[in-house]
Structure 1
């Protein structure tokens, strides 16, 4: 099959990227390895790679690189290009990009159109009133414009059924099997195995990093709090987090990380904390669990779905409860170890990328 991927910032996974970019990367390389001809449309101001990358064609298409116009203009120009690409299938990622999925339905009717509904983006706190209205409309287009809609969590599937009466296909995010990386890599940041709590997220408000820092300030411990991530048109929030943690040397911002360093940070943390207030299905939680690292997550349905009693939870948005849970979980090393091992087995069984890519390909084949 000849497949186009639209809606992400691009691959290889960029520093400004999030779960959508990781999802597109992991899915695309596996489809290419299965023999499909896959093109990912990338944003030239973020992605330097061009041509073939791990069997995937990377095609740079311009955008207007501002907070509100970057995604939609990139998807619009990519869609126009895709009309003449001879694709069997055009796959839009995200509810915002799905608002343009009508174009190939009309002007390239031979191509089948799929949308992945990754999250309810209108709840992301970086957006203003009109942007949220647009993203609300995007939820409707995500289930009405394509021939098939994929959702990454059962919570989103239930939402689409109740609000829109729409049938969707549940295919979650995933993780790959990893060897445990060397703890010596941590020395670059002055860290040691088991002596820090980790969180990994874009520095945007709905990820709740400020809640974690507030809880940490009132939590007596010698452990470090390590924050991995970069802003996404949210430099003001990044500055707020730095001000919030000022004077506490236990809090370390290490910026965007990838590859073996990120793997080492996940694998050797005493605990992974994820205080997000809105998600689709968090890849960061799954990644942490894949290394056997226990997780403490906010109790929103999309997060609870990832652990299935194989992790710890706190009341979303409640700083006092987060602090209490941190204290209780970090005090019991034996329980953390057993929960981490259970979580690792759970994600291996239910969230393996190879199986997820195969399920996605079977859906494509039914459509084509």
Structure 2
């Protein structure tokens, strides 16, 4: 039996790569891994090869170590629908052959080969970041493949972590499988003045409504654009984020926005530009129709933003009464709420004043890491 203080050798897979802000999973893996390394554990992250949604301009060297985390690149076929499959399969094989105590799978699709490290004596933990097979971009074989990964997780994982109460109910009602609720965390950021965004995009403080995330159908961006086009305001709508195997959809969004000079697409952003966009938004809007647990929403609130979100449980459980809510996929209701915030600055200021302290108290990465390590240690007894 292991002592609870023993240091663990941990493998992480299912993320695109770290360091990266290409998606919520990448942020989660980095936040957990850096803290685990700081407490003396050994962590290896299996990264995909090739450039990803951030685009070639963000490609750089591939270090073997980052903040004490060991980085290993795995075989990846750079084609739509194949990158995630091939990298997760090869990552699982590498992890099975490695001398790891715990293999932590992120996302359902990565779990297809979970049985192999489990068969070879590794403890296997899964974090379900969302019911990925429900996402609009996955159809046919891809959707069946992800659903199969979900079933493999249910059958073989030692523990399954979920990010929302609705996901916990789903796994119990569908499979009779108990899961552990451990939400994501957030860091309290430094608020930045509008300098680079003024220079690059002509944006001043409180001059825009912000959407920030992957440009995929389930994020509700079509609803947001159509609603905003009928809002009477001089404020801009800034849509920040890159595509994720969704180039045609991104072009569709730009076609919808054509003719409205208030709508601005920035593409993928990170670093100082990202920080300034969060820091200076008038309102942050998340119109998602499907979520796991949005790190962008947590970050937006941590910067002290007034948030307007759809009424799906994954959003309302996070914001409670500290944000405004509209009916999912209801263009008319979203338009009315957008018009309301543009006309009621006092409500916006009140919600801004509450947001940061509330969210940083409720969701903390140190607490998330502690609870995750306790789950690992439980399996080593």
* Residue 276 of structure 2, aligned match among 255, 264, 271: 264
Specify which of 25, 29, 33 is matched with residue 30 of structure 2. 25
CA-to-aligned-CA distance 1:215-261 (integer Å, 9 cap, x gap): 11111110010111010111001111111111111111111111222
CA contact (8 A) 2:191 2:276 kept: yes
Question: In 1, Cα distance between the equivalents of 2:131 and 2:95?
Answer: 26
| Residue 66 (structure 1) aligned with residue 79 (structure 2) | yes
Residue 261 of structure 1 aligns to a residue in which SS?
Answer: helix
Name the residue aligned to 1:323. Answer: 335
CA positional deviation for 1:186: 2.0
Whether the 8 Å contact between 1:50 and 1:60 is mirrored in structure 2 is: no
Residue equivalent to 2:62: 49
After superposition, the C-alpha distances for 1:32-55 in whole angstroms (9 at most, x for unaligned) are 111111111111203643211111
Distance 1:171 1:350 in 2: 12
**Native 8 Å contact 1:98 1:145 kept in 2:** no
CA contact 2:63–2:71 (8 Å) conserved in 1 = yes
Residue 85 of structure 1: which of 95, 98, 115 is its match?
A: 98
> For residues 152 and 183 of structure 2, what CA distance do their matches in structure 1 show?
20
Q: Find the counterpart in structure 1 of residue 124 from structure 2.
A: 113
Q: What is the CA distance between 1:347 and its match in structure 2?
A: 1.2
The answer on whether the counterparts of 1:94 and 1:115 sit within 8 Å (CA) in structure 2 is yes
For 1:86-105, list aligned pairs within 5 A.
86-105=99-118
Secondary structure of 1:219's partner? coil
TM superposition shift of 1:209: 1.0
Aligned position for 2:285: 273
**Separation in structure 2 between the aligned mates of residue 292 and residue 9 of structure 1, nearest angstrom:** 29
SS at match of 1:288: helix
Shift of 1:316: 0.5
**Aligned pairs for 1:195-234 within 5 A:** 195-234=207-246
Could you list the structure 1 runs, at least 4 aligned residues long, displaced by more than 3 angstroms after superposition. none
TM-score by length of 1: 0.96
Structure 1 distance, partners of 2:227, 2:216, is: 18
2:233/2:342 contact within 8 Å kept: no
Alpha-carbon distance between aligned partners in 1 of 2:230 and 2:346, rounded to the nearest angstrom: 24
Q: Does residue 1:163 correspond to 2:174, yes or no?
A: yes
Asked if 1 retains the 8 angstrom alpha-carbon contact of 2:65 and 2:71, the reply is yes
Matched residue, 1:36: 41
After the TM superposition, which residues 127-206 of structure 1 pair with which residues of structure 2 at under 5 Å, given as runs?
Answer: 127-187=138-198, 188-206=200-218
Deviations 1:65-91 (A, max 9, x none): 222221121111111111222011100
* Uncovered stretches (5+) of structure 2, i.e. residues with no partner: 1-7, 52-58
TM-score scaled by structure 2? 0.93
RMSD between superposed Cα atoms in Å: 1.3
CA contact (8 A) 1:116 1:142 kept: no
Q: Deviations over 1:296-344 (max 9, x none)?
A: 0111111111101110111111111110011112222121122223232
Cα distance in 2 for partners of 1:61, 1:138 equals 19
Q: Secondary structure at the match of 2:145?
A: helix
Equivalent of 1:363, from 330, 352, 375?
375
Are 1:334 and 2:341 matched, yes or no?
no
Matched position secondary structure for 1:264: helix
Tell me if structure 1 keeps the 8 A contact 2:189–2:303: yes
Q: Distance in 2 between matches of 1:80 and 1:122?
A: 23
Distance 1:328 1:38 in 2: 48
Q: Which piece of structure 1 moves more, 19-28 or 136-145?
A: 136-145
Contact 2:193 2:279 in 1 (8 A): no
Instruction: Give deviations 1:95-154, integer Å, cap 9, x for gaps.
Output: 111121111111x21x21100011011111111133222322332222221101100111
SS in 1 for 2:117: helix
Q: Is the 8 A contact 1:215 1:322 kept in 2?
A: yes
In 2, the alpha carbon distance for the partners of 1:215 and 1:75 equals 38
Q: How many correspondences in the alignment?
A: 364
The alpha-carbon deviation at position 212 of structure 1 amounts to 0.7
Would you say the 8 A contact 1:90–1:113 is kept in 2?
yes
Structure 2 counterpart of 1:9: 16
Alpha-carbon contact 2:238-2:266 (below 8 Å) kept = yes
Q: Do structure 1's residue 296 and structure 2's residue 308 form an aligned pair? A: yes
